[in-house]
Amino acid sequence: LPFYYSSQQTAPQPPLWSCAGGNSQLWEAPAAKTVKSHFLNALFLPFPWNSCQTGPVIDMPVPASFNDITQDPSLENYIGWVWYEKEVLLPLRWLQGDPAPRVVLRFGSAHYYSIVWVNGVQVVEHEGGHLPFEADISSVLQGSPGALCRITVALNNTLTPHTLPPGSIQYMTDKTRYPKNYFVQNIKFDFFNYAGIHRPVVLYTTPAAYIDDITVTTTSSESIAMVQYQVSVVGSTAYSLSLSLRDQEGKEVATGDGPVGELKVLNPNLWWPYLMHENPGYLYSLEVKMQAQVAGALLEDIYTLPVGIRTVHVTSTQFLINGRPFYFHGVNKHEDADIRGKGLDWPLIVKDFNLLHWLGANSFRTSHYPYAEEIMDLCDAYGIVVIDESPGVGIKLPESFGNKSLQHHLAVMEELIRRDKNRPSVVMWSVANEPASELPPAAHYFKTVIAHTKALDPSRPVTFVTDANYALDHGAPYVDVICVNSYFSWYHDPGHLEVIPLQLTAQFENWYKTYQKPIIQSEYGADSVPGLHSDPPMMFTEEYQTAMLREYHSVFDKKRKEYVIGELIWNFADFMTSQGTTRVLGNKKGIFTRQRQPKAAAFVLRDRYWKIANESSCLPPVVTSHSLFLK
Ligand code: BDP
């Protein structure tokens, strides 16, 4: 739904903050009163008829990043507070009843720091740009006349050494070179810091007593699977719970009751990855029904959770799904597209899954932050295996390894695991990408983050992605799988494809000798400008990108017989970055363009991935049509 939006500064002006000093107003809530007066005019702007305002208040689509929506360059690179507002008329029955239902306002994500008011009353604050947050707004609505619900959001995209991802604000104080109060946002990661309300905003209701959380884990042998569950209920202590597990035909296969228990499934249909089975992504549905007596009324809450039955194990040389070796032949992605930036976009999501299927990719890493729940749902349903990564990208500054950052990182892992713990597609957590793990404080930092992640979810392996030297990495001792990024013949020895066999072989052998853990090549790649050609291959041409891939592949083919368990290309598609001398309208390491058209490298990878997939005997005999992918 469209939101009204303004970048006008009624909140603290960016130049007034001192992110470096101790007097930061960054997280200080602006007064709700300011919001109200500022938006009195906006409340009457009709949408969509009045779609272009020249004043400070403009129409803004949600979900979307705000950066690329207008022609205003200052909005594109804007750092600081922005405001969104929308009025919604709620159904009256949402506000009636004894006890009245809970009305909840939920944001799929908003980047980076959000403060939300309903009818002028602050209801929630949230830090972090890639995970959901919500607020029970029932009491506010009961105190407000009528069913009008005015939602106001103040959003701040400033990154500091303690945010995730980290960044820093640099004030340029040389008055001969910069205007007064001039500052820049520095970041140590390679994608545009898009901001806005990026994922859907929904209002929903539950009864006053409701199912708050469900945790499901699965184990299985040949003919029997066990589904362990734990359900938490809020709002009543006098409740009953009944559970029913149904297969895809709707047949009930197991039942249970109570908040903790185990369901036994005979001859289970296991959840298999795409291309590992003729029926990948098999999902049961677990219906959880709660009944509770509250204030003399019988309340009922029902939640249906998709459940995939599968196991994950790691040995010193293999990654096992359902006891069978799994080889990651996949991609790294970004949430990124023209105009909408990082805003959720269904056509783009479905197009990307069709391209993954076309490519024969069985997996991706959510580089470098958690992706939308809508994307994760499709991974579960299609059998696309996910390495689920936190926004811990660009942790380079020594101060970002301190206790303040660490505590926030732990909280983010809690939010991520609460959101994604029941997803069969998620087979491993990645807590960070390319941190400065050669710094001594990285040892305590990663030991703590990884231990915390494992305590929250003992059922999955944990890793972080490194580009540090194998002998100097202080975090690697704590991971289950070594994930290593390297750019031989690109950032190192640019133009020299001939160094790849030697250097890549040494990379694998050194890591394996040191840790005896399986290894994923979690990034490798080269930029190519689509349509740029040269033979012999030169950097930035399509030929160079494909030649580099082939050099890497010949080493992978030797080492995957030993302990290399995966290869993830950098990157699925070209994506936007900050401007800089090494970026031509963004990063061009995509095998697809930003508009999702294939470069030559896409065809090389497609041949390879299908060949690897066909080495497995359980594939359907002929895979030619996209109809295979539509379940
Ligand atoms: C890697 C980073 C990734 C970058 C890539 C590149 O993990 O985010 O986009 O390099 O420079 O080191 O293309």
More confident residue, 427 or 42: 427
Tell me, in angstroms, the distance from the centre of ligand 1 to residue 368's CA: 10
Tell me, in angstroms, the distance from the centre of ligand 1 to residue 406's CA: 23
Q: In the Cβ-directed half-sphere of 193, how many Cα atoms lie within 13 Å?
A: 28
How confident is the model over 175-199, as pLDDT tens digits? 999 999 999 999 999 999 999 999 9
Tell me, in angstroms, the distance from the centre of ligand 1 to residue 190's CA: 6
Lowest mean pLDDT among 13-17, 63-67, 217-221, 354-358: 13-17
In terms of Cα–Cα distance, which of 105, 85, 87, 83 is closest to 154? 83
pLDDT at 543: 98
Confidence of residue 35 (pLDDT cuts 50, 70, 90): very low
Q: What average pLDDT does this structure show over 93-118?
A: 93
Q: In the Cβ-directed half-sphere of 387, how many Cα atoms lie within 13 Å?
A: 34
pLDDT at 227: 98
Minimum-distance ligand 1 atom for the alpha carbon of 577: 9
How confident is the model over 472-491, as pLDDT tens digits? 999 999 999 999 999 999 99
Query: Which 8-state DSSP code applies to residue 406?
Result: H
d(Cα 50, Cα 47) in Å, to the nearest integer?
6
d(Cα 276, Cα 326) in Å, to the nearest integer?
8
Cβ neighbours of 316 (radius 10 Å) = 10
d(Cα 607, Cα 600) in Å, to the nearest integer?
11
How confident is the model over 494-503, as pLDDT tens digits? 999 999 999 9
* Coil/strand/helix, residue 363: strand
Residues 6+ apart with CB under 8 A from 560: 327
More confident residue, 47 or 581: 581
Confidence of residue 326 (pLDDT cuts 50, 70, 90): very high
pLDDT above 50 (res 51): no
Distance of CA 190 to the CA centre of its chain: 16
Written as one letter, the residue type at 381 is A
pLDDT at 618: 53
pLDDT at 598: 98
Tell me, in angstroms, the distance from the centre of ligand 1 to residue 63's CA: 26
Structure tokens given for 21: 């000093």
Confidence of residue 74 (pLDDT cuts 50, 70, 90): confident
Confidence of residue 617 (pLDDT cuts 50, 70, 90): low
Tell me, in angstroms, the distance from the centre of ligand 1 to residue 569's CA: 11
pLDDT at 55: 42
Cβ distance 8 to 75 under 8 Å?
A: no
* Coil/strand/helix, residue 348: helix
pLDDT above 90 (res 40): no
Q: What average pLDDT does this structure show over 61-65?
A: 93
pLDDT above 50 (res 33): no
How confident is the model over 385-434, as pLDDT tens digits? 999 999 999 999 999 999 999 999 999 999 999 999 999 999 999 999 99
Structure tokens given for 378: 């499709």
pLDDT above 60 (res 381): yes
Cβ distance 227 to 246 under 8 Å?
A: no
How confident is the model over 313-323, as pLDDT tens digits? 999 999 999 99
- Catalytic site includes residue 434: yes
Cβ distance 256 to 243 under 8 Å?
A: yes
* Coil/strand/helix, residue 47: coil
Residues 6+ apart with CB under 8 A from 175: none
pLDDT at 98: 87
pLDDT above 60 (res 53): no
pTM of this structure: 0.91
Lowest mean pLDDT among 58-62, 117-121, 168-172, 296-300: 58-62
Ligand 1: which residue has its CA nearest to atom 11? 190
Tell me: cis bond preceding 368? Omega within 30 of 0 counts: yes
pLDDT above 60 (res 150): yes
pLDDT at 34: 30
Confidence of residue 221 (pLDDT cuts 50, 70, 90): confident
How confident is the model over 509-565, as pLDDT tens digits? 999 999 999 999 999 999 999 999 999 999 999 999 999 999 999 999 999 999 999
Q: Which of 415, 434, 542, 567 is catalytic?
A: 434
More confident residue, 355 or 10: 355
Minimum-distance ligand 1 atom for the alpha carbon of 467: 12
Average pLDDT, whole number, for the chain?
89
More confident residue, 146 or 370: 370
The residue to mutate among 335, 387, 434, having the most atoms of ligand 1 within 8 angstroms of its beta carbon, is 434
The ligand 1 site (C-beta within 6 Å) comprises 190, 368, 433-434, 467, 485, 523, 570, 587, 589
Tell me, in angstroms, the distance from the centre of ligand 1 to residue 415's CA: 25
pLDDT at 59: 84
Confidence of residue 46 (pLDDT cuts 50, 70, 90): very low
pLDDT above 90 (res 574): yes
pLDDT at 144: 79
**How many helices (H) and strands (E) are present in the chain, helices listed first?**
10, 29
Ligand 1: which residue has its CA nearest to atom 10? 190
Ligand 1: which residue has its CA nearest to atom 6? 190
pLDDT above 80 (res 26): no
Confidence of residue 507 (pLDDT cuts 50, 70, 90): very high
